[in-house]
Amino acid sequence: MRKINYKLLLFSVLMLLNVHLVFAQYSYQIAVLKYRGGGDWYANPTSLPNLIKFCNQNVQTNINPNPSTVEVGSADIFNYPFLHMTGHGNVVFSDQEANNLRNYLIGGGFLHIDDNYGMDKYVRPQIKKIFPDIDLVELPINHPIYQQKFKLPNGLPKIHEHDGKPPQGFGIIYNGRLVLYYTYEADLGNGWEDAIIHGDSEETRLKALRMGANLIQYVFTQ
């Protein structure tokens, strides 16, 4: 009979328990949405980790510090209460992908789309593909999304200047619930990134992070 190495067995069990505890300590994980069409869905790689850190420290969330990546058509999107989508260029959703996103959103999920400049003309038709019967509407500055821990009396902040247009926050409201929030001419994700990347001032970055924290808090408390 083969002799059992009890020390090795105990070590293996303890390692498995430790891995379980590491993952169990976080209440949520959020994800970046990977899409087709050639647009850079992977833009601003430091933005979500920085936003998560800020939220965990300032609005008492308990989010895994490492965001995941999930494809639009995957059933895995249902594992995440919050999806973030960004980029500068083309976006294409197949019928299956649009339907998958619709089911996710009406089932309780939330999608934040942040135009990183140049995405607007491509993403609007895809939003319409998800919700052909619902129009994007601009949220008023007194919407609860701007009235969470951080009060933003002027609504969505302007982080980067591109075309001289004001920042706008649009939403898809399904059965009275905001399920999709689209930020245009604001560039929140750039403000969430490491300061060295875009050279933004601490004041500018703080405005972006506070807006992001309001967004996360709003989604997690609805």
Nearest to 34 by CA among 43, 45, 42: 42
As a whole number of angstroms, the distance between CA 79 and CA 82 comes to 9
27-221 is classed CATH 2.60.120.10? no
For the stretch 130-175, pLDDT in tens is 999 999 999 999 999 999 999 999 999 999 877 888 999 999 999 9
Average pLDDT, the chain: 90
Q: Regarding predicted confidence, which is higher, 196 or 100?
A: 100
Residue 86, C-beta contacts closer than 8 angstroms, at least 6 positions apart: 32, 41, 43, 44, 47, 113, 114, 115, 116, 119, 189
Does residue 9 surpass a pLDDT of 70?
Answer: no
- Measuring CA to CA, how many Å separate 136 from each of 7, 58, 88? 61, 30, 20
Nearest to 156 by CA among 170, 135, 173, 177: 170
DSSP single-letter state for residue 221: H
Percent of the chain with pLDDT over 70: 89
As a whole number of angstroms, the distance between CA 193 and CA 208 comes to 10
Nearest to 72 by CA among 29, 113, 131, 32: 32
Q: What is the mean pLDDT of residues 16-32?
A: 64
